[in-house]
Structures are given as structure tokens and as C-alpha cells.
């Protein structure tokens, strides 16, 4: 008499075993012949391979003898569970320990938020950024997996492939567990799929913006870009605050594209036109409405109906024109100048930009408070270029030379430090002028700090000696260690009420008092009036330290010594 045993992997697959009298089967992910002999002593026992990660290599021995089917768990990681059909019974012989599990949801993996957001500079390294974040996440979970990178059009790297995650730049990630996993693996894969889908969406959005010429390499500008896209998708009015030349115009166009509206994008600079002309440019004017109105003017509001109106330098809008804009934003209605009181309407999304501290201007009464609340649906701060070293490098890498190299690679190490530490008061306009003056025949590593300093001197409005330029041009003077050590001990005693008594006191004095003082003296940070004035890349370049070290000791210095 034969019997059937169905081996089921929860939520994934099942295998049916036909057993005749005397048959035995070893079930596992990779059943071993030696294991069969050790368990059954019979080389005729056959193997059944079940390629699932929550099945152990040698999981379960199933045997048919004397009209009885027996199941022996061979020490698997997750155990073997018997499904009891309704109305049937199981007899257990010599049971000293017994556990019965009733149906329950599978456990969820830890770190439900998934991997950290990936970072990448250009299309070619998107997959490596995603790989790095996912690898770090699995390390946090304590999961043992092998992750491979492959082209989407290549066959799988592993026949036991479990996770196949296609990426938007033509690659894919293949995730294979290297040890037995439990039922939470399904949810782990679901988290991974959601994460990869979100990163692919971010990649596609950023690629569209890069195609329009905006540099998106630094975490700061990518964060601003994400906020702009979200505001566009949710229909919020947008206010961009940042210095001239930092990329606000490109972000405004990005907003228009992601709003997915059919109307036009129209930009007006509020600082370029007089009050009368700006009102006409915004809301239109009939012929003869004012002295120079020799023809009818179609206003920007009317021209971008169904689209986006970009008002640059909104902080320079005259106070007597602000009420007209406020009325339009409240009601969607406007009047042409000289229009005889005819009220018109338009559906317009608004983006404003300014290089001023508009909050402070509003508090001082220079900008209408009620207008601030109308335009500040989503406020996005666009940082200056000196705080975005990755964008400087990415821009220069895009500028190719006659030697087929790029401008960044043409700079030696000291020159690169000098570029990253420059103030870039003109932001991308100044960087573009710097790039235009590059020798077209420059070879890799051929431009030194002196060459670079000359180029910067040509384009900078007011060239200044920065921390990194000091580092590139001359060796540092040795700091007065004895004086600083004395100052560190004095501050320690003032904070703790006693002198250095224990070795732990010495370590704390060194880490929290002496190191910040040495850092401030060596990097030039001690000359700064405010923590906010610090250019992190320049300070890091001056002392050849990483950004994390600079930020830590800069914060400690200003918290303790420049309160």
C-alpha cells in the first residue's frame, strides 16, 4: 500500500512524494548522500531538492515502513510542521516534549523602513549606490545574503535566485540568502521591492532634471529637488530661497514639469521692471493704458493659464504691487490695466524665488505678511555652491577637454582642494566662467594649485585667501600646543569643578577641549564669527581631515569656546 506526503513551503510551492513500502526520501535545499547514509543506512534512499531559502540543506527524512509513514526532522533551522486535516488524528509515540502551533501571521523583519536612501552622482553609478544601501541594511538586520549586480539582459547569476530587483539604469540586483531563512523573508523581499521602486522613481525624476542641465550630485541639492517634486505633485505653491546662481531657475522649471499641466511656463523677474511695467507684465494692459502702452499687452497670468508662473526675486516686488498679486492668489481673478473694470480669471500654479531673507523682511514690514502666507506653501532652501562640493566636482567632470579627459581630472590633489575650498560667491555663474578659462589641452593631474589660483583670480569678484588655499600654498605654522593645552585644562576645571584626577579626566579633556581648540587653530575656524559661516570642505582640506571629524570638532568648538 502506498501513501502520499505533500511537502509545502508556506506561500511559495509544494512537492508531492509518492511512497511505497520501504521507500525513504531526504528532503532539503541541498540533500547530501553522506547525510542519507548516516540517517537511514541505506544508499537507495532518494533525495528531493526544494530550492527555497527557508528549507535547510538536509531538512526532513520521510519513510514508509510496515504500513506507517514516519517523518524525522534532521535538525533543521526552522523545524518541520505537520498540517493535520480536519477530523484526522496523529499518534505520537514516546513523546517527552510536544509543541503545537496554531495558524498565525508570519513575523515581520526588523528595520521596516527599509534601506537608507541611495546616493549617486550620475547614471552610471546608480546601481552601486543602491547596492551599497541594501548591503548596509542587510548587515543591520544580521541577514546573510549574497548580492550580485548584473545587466538586465543577462541570465541570472545563480540558479537559486530569490530576489530579482530591476533598476532603472539597465542593471538589476540579485539577492540570494546564504543561510536558511524563516517565513519573514517574504516580507523582507516586499520591503526591498518597495525600496527599489522608490529609488527607481527618484532616479527617473532626477534624470529628467539632469537632462535640463541642473547638477544633482550633492545630498543638499537632491533633497531640495525632492521637495520641489513633492510640492509640484501635490499642487503646493513653492518658494525657493537661495543665493543668485544657485539653481533656483532650474528647480522652478522642474516644478512645472512635474506638475504635469498643459499650460506654459512663464518667468518674470520682479527686480527688472518698474511698478507700472511689472503690473502690466503680470496682469496685462490695454493699448493706451499708460504712456508707453502702444499696443495691448498680454500679461503673464493670462499667458500661462493652466501652467506655471515663476516670479524671480519676489522680495524686490514693490509694496504697492503686492496687493494686486494677493488678490489674484486669493480669488484667481485679475484686471488688465485700462480694462474698464472687467474681471478675468486664470488657473495658475505659482513658484517664487528670492535671494533675500524674506522672513526677516516680512517681520520688518518690507514684505506683506499675508502675501508671505500665500506664496510659502512649500519653502525650499537652495544652499550656495560652496556647501555643495559634490556638485562642483560633478560639474567639472562633465566638462571634457581635447585630451578626452575632464576638467576635474586635470587638477592635481592640491588644486582640487583649492577649488572645493573657494567661496564661489557667484555660484554656478562663477564656476562656469572658471571652467571656460581652462586650458583645452590640459592633461590629467597637470594643473597645480598655482595654476588654479590664477584662474580663480581671473573670475572671482573679490578673491580671498581661504582655509584650503592656505593649505595649498604654504605649510601651517605649528600651533602653540602648550598654550592651547593650558586653555583646555582651564575650561575643564571650570566645567567640572576639579583638576585632572583620573585617566578618564585626561581623555575627556583631550577629546572635548584640546582637540576642538587645535582644530580651530589649525583650520582657521577660530577666525569665524559664526558656526554658519563655516565652509566644511575648505576646513577639511586645510587639515586633511574627513567631513565628519570637521563637523564634530567645529560644533564642539562653537558650543564651548564661542558661546
HEC string of 246-257 equals CCHHHHHHHHHH
User: d(Cα 313, Cα 303) in Å, to the nearest integer?
Assistant: 20
Task: Indicate if the pLDDT at residue 346 is higher than 90.
Answer: yes
What are 311's three cell numbers? Answer: 516670479
Task: Indicate if the pLDDT at residue 161 is higher than 50.
Answer: no
Mean pLDDT of the chain: 83
Query: Do residues 190 and 11 make contact, with C-beta atoms less than 8 angstroms apart?
Result: no
Please list the residues that pair with 380 across neighbouring strands.
Answer: 240
pLDDT > 90: what percent of the chain? 32
User: d(Cα 105, Cα 21) in Å, to the nearest integer?
Assistant: 37
Tell me which of 3.40.1010.10, 3.40.50.300, 1.10.1040.50, 3.40.1190.20 is the CATH number of domain 219-381. Answer: 3.40.50.300
What are 406's three cell numbers? Answer: 575632464
Fold annotation for 1-104: Tumour Suppressor Smad4 (2.60.200)
**pLDDT higher for 175 or 480?**
175
| Cα angle 499-503-509, degrees, rounded to a multiple of 5 | 55
Q: Where along the chain do its domains lie?
A: 1-104, 123-211, 219-381, 399-473, 481-561
Task: Indicate if the pLDDT at residue 154 is higher than 50.
Answer: yes
Residue with cell 567661496: 423
Span 199-211, average pLDDT? 87
pLDDT > 70: what percent of the chain? 87
Task: Indicate if the pLDDT at residue 170 is higher than 80.
Answer: yes
Span 354-365, average pLDDT? 90
With bands split at pLDDT 50, 70 and 90, how would you rate the model's confidence at 43?
Answer: low
**What pLDDT does 479 receive?**
55
Closest CA to 447 of 384, 399, 389: 399
Task: Indicate if the pLDDT at residue 149 is higher than 60.
Answer: yes
With bands split at pLDDT 50, 70 and 90, how would you rate the model's confidence at 15?
Answer: confident
With bands split at pLDDT 50, 70 and 90, how would you rate the model's confidence at 325?
Answer: very high
Of the ranges 43-57, 159-173, 223-237, which is most confident? Answer: 223-237
Span 104-132, average pLDDT? 70
Task: Indicate if the pLDDT at residue 309 is higher than 70.
Answer: yes
**What pLDDT does 544 receive?**
78
User: d(Cα 23, Cα 45) in Å, to the nearest integer?
Assistant: 7
With bands split at pLDDT 50, 70 and 90, how would you rate the model's confidence at 33?
Answer: low
Task: Indicate if the pLDDT at residue 478 is higher than 60.
Answer: no
**What pLDDT does 312 receive?**
96
Give the list of residues 6+ apart from residue 49 with CB closer than 8 angstroms, or none.
28, 29, 30, 31
User: d(Cα 489, Cα 487) in Å, to the nearest integer?
Assistant: 6
Closest CA to 489 of 477, 479, 478, 501: 501
Of 58-67, 191-200, 297-306, 451-460, least confident by mean pLDDT is 58-67
Backbone angles phi, psi at 354, to 5 degrees: -155, 150
User: d(Cα 248, Cα 264) in Å, to the nearest integer?
Assistant: 18
**What pLDDT does 111 receive?**
41
What are 322's three cell numbers? Answer: 503686492
- In the DSSP assignment, the letter for residue 512 is I
1-104 shares its CATH topology with 219-381: no
3-state helix, strand, coil in the chain (%, to 5): 45, 15, 40
3-9 vs 13-19, strand pairing mode = antiparallel
With bands split at pLDDT 50, 70 and 90, how would you rate the model's confidence at 468?
Answer: very low
**What pLDDT does 469 receive?**
43
User: d(Cα 203, Cα 390) in Å, to the nearest integer?
Assistant: 17
163-166 vs 238-241, strand pairing mode = unpaired
Span 322-326, average pLDDT? 92
Query: Which contiguous run of DSSP H or E holds residue 110?
Result: none
Span 523-542, average pLDDT? 78
Residues in the chain: 563
Please list the residues that pair with 354 across neighbouring strands.
Answer: 241
Span 418-431, average pLDDT? 92
Task: Indicate if the pLDDT at residue 49 is higher than 90.
Answer: no
User: d(Cα 177, Cα 160) in Å, to the nearest integer?
Assistant: 9
pTM assigned to the model? 0.62
Which long-range contacts does 269-277 make (Cβ < 8 Å, 24+ apart)?
Answer: 269/312, 269/313, 270/311, 270/312, 270/313, 270/314, 270/315, 270/316, 270/317, 271/312, 271/313, 271/316, 275/318, 275/320, 275/321
With bands split at pLDDT 50, 70 and 90, how would you rate the model's confidence at 259?
Answer: very high
Closest CA to 61 of 85, 89, 31: 31
N-terminal to C-terminal alpha carbon distance within the chain = 89
User: d(Cα 49, Cα 117) in Å, to the nearest integer?
Assistant: 38
Task: Indicate if the pLDDT at residue 177 is higher than 80.
Answer: yes
User: d(Cα 346, Cα 335) in Å, to the nearest integer?
Assistant: 11
pLDDT tens column, 93-105: 655 566 666 554 3
Span 165-182, average pLDDT? 85
Span 223-234, average pLDDT? 93
User: d(Cα 534, Cα 384) in Å, to the nearest integer?
Assistant: 12
- In the DSSP assignment, the letter for residue 173 is E
With bands split at pLDDT 50, 70 and 90, how would you rate the model's confidence at 157?
Answer: low
**What pLDDT does 35 receive?**
66
**What pLDDT does 176 receive?**
84
**pLDDT higher for 468 or 36?**
36
**What pLDDT does 529 receive?**
74
Closest CA to 179 of 134, 131, 143, 135: 143
Span 124-141, average pLDDT? 88
Amino acid at each position: 500500500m502506498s501513501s502520499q506526503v505533500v511537502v509545502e513551503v508556506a506561500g511559495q510551492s509544494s512537492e508531492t512524494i509518492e511512497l511505497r513500502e520501504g521507500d525513504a526520501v531526504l528532503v532539503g535545499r541541498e540533500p547530501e548522500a553522506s547525510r542519507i547514509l548516516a540517517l537511514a543506512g541505506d544508499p537507495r534512499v532518494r533525495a528531493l531538492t526544494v530550492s527555497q531559502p527557508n528549507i535547510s540543506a538536509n531538512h526532513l527524512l520521510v519513510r514508509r515502513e510496515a504500513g506507517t509513514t514516519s517523518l524525522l526532522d534532521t535538525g533543521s533551522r526552522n523545524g518541520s510542521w505537520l498540517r493535520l486535516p480536519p477530523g484526522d488524528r496523529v499518534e505520537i509515540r514516546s513523546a517527552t516534549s510536544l509543541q503545537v502551533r496554531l495558524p498565525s501571521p508570519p513575523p515581520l523583519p526588523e528595520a521596516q523602513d527599509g534601506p537608507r536612501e541611495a546616493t549617486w552622482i550620475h547614471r552610471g553609478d546608480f546601481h552601486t549606490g543602491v547596492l551599497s544601501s541594501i548591503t548596509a541594511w542587510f548587515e543591520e538586520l544580521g541577514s546573510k545574503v549574497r548580492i550580485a549586480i548584473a545587466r538586465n539582459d543577462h541570465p541570472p547569476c545563480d540558479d537559486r535566485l530569490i530576489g530579482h530587483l530591476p533598476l532603472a539604469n539597465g542593471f538589476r540586483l540579485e539577492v540570494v540568502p546564504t543561510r536558511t531563512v524563516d517565513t519573514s523573508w517574504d516580507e523582507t523581499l516586499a520591503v526591498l521591492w518597495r525600496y527599489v521602486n522608490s529609488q527607481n522613481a527618484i532616479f527617473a525624476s532626477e534624470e529628467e532634471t539632469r537632462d535640463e542641465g541642473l547638477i544633482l550630485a550633492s545630498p543638499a541639492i537632491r533633497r531640495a529637488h525632492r521637495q520641489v517634486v513633492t510640492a509640484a505633485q501635490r499642487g503646493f505653491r513653492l518658494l525657493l530661497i537661495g543665493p543668485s546662481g544657485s539653481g533656483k531657475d532650474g528647480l522652478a522649471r522642474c516644478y512645472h514639469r512635474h506638475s504635469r499641466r498643459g499650460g506654459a511656463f512663464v518667468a518674470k523677474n520682479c527686480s527688472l521692471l518698474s511698478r507700472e511695467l511689472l503690473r502690466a507684465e503680470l496682469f496685462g494692459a490695454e493699448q493706451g493704458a499708460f504712456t508707453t502702452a502702444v499696443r495691448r499687452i498680454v500679461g503673464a497670468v493670462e499667458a500661462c493659464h493652466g501652467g506655471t508662473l515663476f516670479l524671480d526675486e519676489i522680495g524686490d516686488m514693490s509694496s504697492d504691487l503686492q496687493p494686486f498679486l494677493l488678490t489674484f492668489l486669493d480669488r484667481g481673478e485679475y484686471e488688465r490695466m485700462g480694462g474698464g473694470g472687467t474681471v478675468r480669471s486664470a488657473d495658475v500654479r505659482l513658484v517664487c524665488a528670492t535671494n533675500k531673507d524674506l522672513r526677516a523682511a516680512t517681520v520688518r514690514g518690507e514684505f506683506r505678511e499675508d502675501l508671505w502666507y500665500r506664496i510659502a506653501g512649500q519653502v525650499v532652501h537652495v544652499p550656495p555652491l560652496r556647501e555643495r562640493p559634490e556638485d562642483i566636482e560633478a560639474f567639472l567632470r562633465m566638462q571634457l577637454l581635447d585630451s578626452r579627459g575632464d576638467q576635474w581630472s586635470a587638477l592635481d590633489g592640491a588644486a582640487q582642494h583649492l577649488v572645493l575650498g573657494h567661496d564661489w560667491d557667484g555660484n554656478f555663474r562663477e564656476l562656469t566662467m572658471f571652467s571656460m578659462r581652462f586650458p583645452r589641452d590640459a592633461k590629467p593631474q597637470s594643473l597645480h594649485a598655482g595654476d588654479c589660483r590664477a584662474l580663480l583670480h581671473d573670475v572671482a569678484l573679490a578673491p580671498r585667501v581661504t582655509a584650503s588655499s592656505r593649505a595649498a600654498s604654504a605649510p601651517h605654522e605649528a600651533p602653540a600646543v602648550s598654550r592651547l593645552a593650558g586653555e583646555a585644562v582651564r575650561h575643564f576645571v571650570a566645567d567640572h569643578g576639579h583638576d585632572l584626577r583620573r585617566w578618564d579626566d585626561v581623555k575627556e579633556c583631550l577629546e572635548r577641549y584640546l582637540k576642538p581648540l587645535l582644530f580651530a587653530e589649525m583650520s582657521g575656524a577660530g577666525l569665524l564669527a559664526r558656526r554658519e559661516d563655516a565652509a566644511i570642505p575648505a576646513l577639511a582640506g586645510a587639515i586633511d581631515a574627513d567631513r565628519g571629524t570637521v563637523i564634530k570638532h567645529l560644533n564642539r568648538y562653537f558650543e564651548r569656546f564661542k558661546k
